Amino acid sequence: MKVALITGITGQDGSYLAELLLEKGYMVHGIKRRSSLFNTDRIDHLYQDPHHPKQRLKLHYGDLTDSMNLTRIIEECQPDEIYNLGAMSHVKVSFDTPEYVGNVDGLGTLRILEAVRLLGLEKKTRIYQASTSELYGGLAENKNERGFYDENSPFYPRSPYGVAKIYGFWITKNYREAYNMFACNGILFNHESPRRGETFVTRKITRATARIALGLQDKVYLGNLDAKRDWGHAKDYVRMMWMILQADKAEDWVIATGKTTTVREFVRMSFAEVGVELEFKGKGVDEKALVKKCNNPEYQIEIGKEVLSVDPSYFRPTEVDLLIGDPTKAKEKLGWVPDYDLKDLVEDMMRSDIKLMKKDQYLKNGGYTTLNYFE
Ligand code: NAP
Ligand code: GDD
């Protein structure tokens, strides 16, 4: 049985990847942080009975800032594959905690690579490093002749997060070249899902749209509506992480959809899912979105209601204005074909958030339900 170790297993990608590897018959080890509240919501459905003899998911307490802990876990698991997904992954928050981000997202990667090397596992263990499109920084002049970022485009990170991740990128490449390790970077563009953290822009929008439609919230405040992102579905992207480690050769790969969309358009698409047409008025910090039409009898929102304003506190000291990736190499060499496009993604997130918020509304009105009633 193949053995995998996932750092960041409690996160969006870690949870989908654990599902995928369990389906493929792997023994899956995951590192979770000690926290004062339960933090395993996203993987609880995979972890029914820790004492069952056939349980193939095992969690270990740990942290990417603790080398001894990481080395001990890797020695215990003897993994065939390590997926290093653990990170402080919020770009805006990285401006508030730059040193911590350097330690976790940058040096954390080194700790994993060095543990594998010191334990003499460099021939056995393949390593996936969660690199990011934030490395490119959105500089127009660095796109290729076709207008995309690809594996050869120069990097120009624009946040402490991006700078820490660039260390992770290069140290992974260096260990591959210096010690002949099977260590690869997946340079992933933004990927979202119903399990996306609530403070990333897509999930903030789909949650707020659902709550506004159900009368639980009046409006949402966002930052830069002009920012453009290449958004895919996390399920498609974790499949690619696995494919990267099954390749014949260790390399770095761009994973993206090749399309880019503004935050404003994502808002429009989310409201369209509940039958609401929006009109955007004003510019910059004065921009607002108002309800123009409401075509769904289930959600009665008054015409002219203001449902979105800009709050400059969400602006970043330095912004990445535009991301668009070229996944040609992954498609041609590994045969990656994504199942979801942006419309499917928005539908999936909205369906899930409407369900979740209906449960909220029901409970608020004094109803009682078991956790899965609305699933
Ligand atoms: P996420 O939902 O924020 O999950 C991050 C995971 O890392 C969580 O399990 C978190 O634990 C864990 N973690 C945080 N600090 C840690 C520490 N000090 N030690 C050990 N674990 C720690 O992120 P994601 O969206 O799944 O992304 C997965 C990885 O891909 C990240 O490295 C991210 O930077 C990178 N990435 C993401 C995207 C994207 O669009 N999603 C794109 C490119 C790259 P808690 O649950 O306890 O917080
Ligand atoms: N979070 C957030 N909140 N972003 C907002 C808001 C808001 O209220 N309003 C506008 N935005 C804009 C941000 O300024 C940014 O340009 C864009 O929406 C996307 O922001 P996020 O969803 O926070 O994601 P990100 O692109 O900064 O970072 C994500 O993708 C990276 C890959 O490119 C994260 O998942 C990173 O970990 C990942 O590496």
What six digits make up the tokens of 317? 């000291």
Is pLDDT of 71 > 50?
Answer: yes
Does 258 map to a domain? no
Query: What pLDDT score was predicted for residue 371?
Result: 44
Answer yes or no: is the C-beta of 202 below 6 A from any ligand 1 atom. no
On whether the CB atoms of residues 263 and 289 are closer than 8 A, the answer is: no
28 exposure class (CB count in 10 Å sphere: 0-12, 13-18, 19+):
buried
Q: What is the spatial distance between Cα 60 and Cα 32, in angstroms, rounded to a whole number? A: 6
Closest Cα to atom 20 of ligand 1: 63
Residues with CB under 6 A from ligand 2: 89, 91-92, 132-134, 189-190, 199-201, 204, 222-224, 227, 229, 263, 314, 316, 319-320, 323
On whether the CB atoms of residues 210 and 274 are closer than 8 A, the answer is: yes
- Report how far ligand 1's centroid is from the alpha carbon of 9 (Å): 8
b/e map 251-278, b = 16+ CB within 10 Å: bbbbbbbbebbebbebbbbbbbbbebeb
Query: What pLDDT score was predicted for residue 275?
Result: 97
How far, in Å, are 209, 215, 223, 225, 268 from residue 288 at the CA level? 15, 19, 11, 10, 12
Q: Indicate the top mutation candidate among 90, 109, 229 to test ligand 2's pocket, ranked by most ligand atoms within 8 A of CB.
A: 229
Does 52 map to a domain? yes
Does 165 map to a domain? yes
Answer yes or no: is the C-beta of 199 below 6 A from any ligand 1 atom. no
Count of structural domains within the chain: 2
Domain limit, last residue, from 129, 157, 188 = 188
- Mean predicted confidence (pLDDT) in 40-68: 91
For residue 10, the ligand 1 atom closest to its alpha carbon is: 9
What six digits make up the tokens of 66? 């603790």
Is pLDDT of 26 > 90?
Answer: yes
CATH of residue 357's domain is 3.90.25.10
Does 239 map to a domain? no
- Mean predicted confidence (pLDDT) in 151-172: 98
Is pLDDT of 212 > 90?
Answer: yes
Is pLDDT of 239 > 80?
Answer: yes
Domain that holds residue 7: 3-188
Is pLDDT of 232 > 70?
Answer: yes
Query: What pLDDT score was predicted for residue 361?
Result: 80
Residues 8 and 63 occupy one common structural domain: yes
User: How much is the mean pLDDT over the chain?
Assistant: 95
Q: Which residues are catalytic?
A: 132, 134, 161
Is pLDDT of 161 > 60?
Answer: yes
Query: What pLDDT score was predicted for residue 365?
Result: 74
Q: Binning pLDDT at 50, 70 and 90, where does residue 54 land? A: confident
- Mean predicted confidence (pLDDT) in 163-178: 98
Residues 79 and 112 occupy one common structural domain: yes
For residue 224, the ligand 2 atom closest to its alpha carbon is: 10
**What Rg do the C-alpha atoms of the chain give, in angstroms?**
21
pTM over 0.75: yes
Residues forming beta bridges with residue 155, ordered by sequence position:
none
CATH of residue 144's domain is 3.40.50.720
Does 117 map to a domain? yes
Is pLDDT of 186 > 70?
Answer: yes
- Report how far ligand 1's centroid is from the alpha carbon of 291 (Å): 35
| Sign (positive or negative) of CA dihedral 91, 92, 93, 96 | positive
Q: Pick the closest to residue 252 from 187, 309, 316 (CA basis).
A: 187
Q: Pick the closest to residue 295 from 272, 278, 275 (CA basis).
A: 275
Does 53 map to a domain? yes
Domain limit, last residue, from 164, 188, 212 = 188
How far, in Å, are 156, 161, 175, 217, 314 from residue 100 at the CA level? 21, 10, 23, 34, 21
Query: What pLDDT score was predicted for residue 372?
Result: 44
Closest Cα to atom 34 of ligand 1: 89
pLDDT 10s digits, 320-375 = 999 999 999 999 999 999 999 999 999 999 999 999 999 888 777 776 554 444 43
- Report how far ligand 2's centroid is from the alpha carbon of 154 (Å): 21
Residues 8 and 157 occupy one common structural domain: yes
- Indicate the DSSP class of residue 70: H
Q: Binning pLDDT at 50, 70 and 90, where does residue 53 land? A: confident
Domain limit, last residue, from 122, 157, 188 = 188
Does 235 map to a domain? no
Answer yes or no: is the C-beta of 85 below 6 A from any ligand 1 atom. yes
What six digits make up the tokens of 265? 């358009």
- Report how far ligand 2's centroid is from the alpha carbon of 91 (Å): 7
Strand order in the sheet with 220-222: 220-222, 306-310, 288-294, 276-281
Task: Give the lowest-confidence range in 53-62, 206-215, 244-253, 332-341.
Answer: 53-62
- The set of residues, in sequence order, having a beta carbon less than 8 Å from that of 313 and lying 6+ positions away, is 223
pLDDT 10s digits, 94-138 = 999 999 999 999 999 999 999 999 999 999 999 999 999 999 999
Query: What pLDDT score was predicted for residue 368?
Result: 57
Answer yes or no: is the C-beta of 318 below 6 A from any ligand 1 atom. no
Residues 159 and 274 occupy one common structural domain: no
Residues 205 and 143 occupy one common structural domain: no
Nearest bound ligand to CA 196? 1
On whether the CB atoms of residues 193 and 349 are closer than 8 A, the answer is: yes
Residues 208 and 116 occupy one common structural domain: no
- Report how far ligand 1's centroid is from the alpha carbon of 85 (Å): 6
Residues 123 and 268 occupy one common structural domain: no
- Report how far ligand 2's centroid is from the alpha carbon of 71 (Å): 33
Does 130 map to a domain? yes
Residues 297 and 180 occupy one common structural domain: no
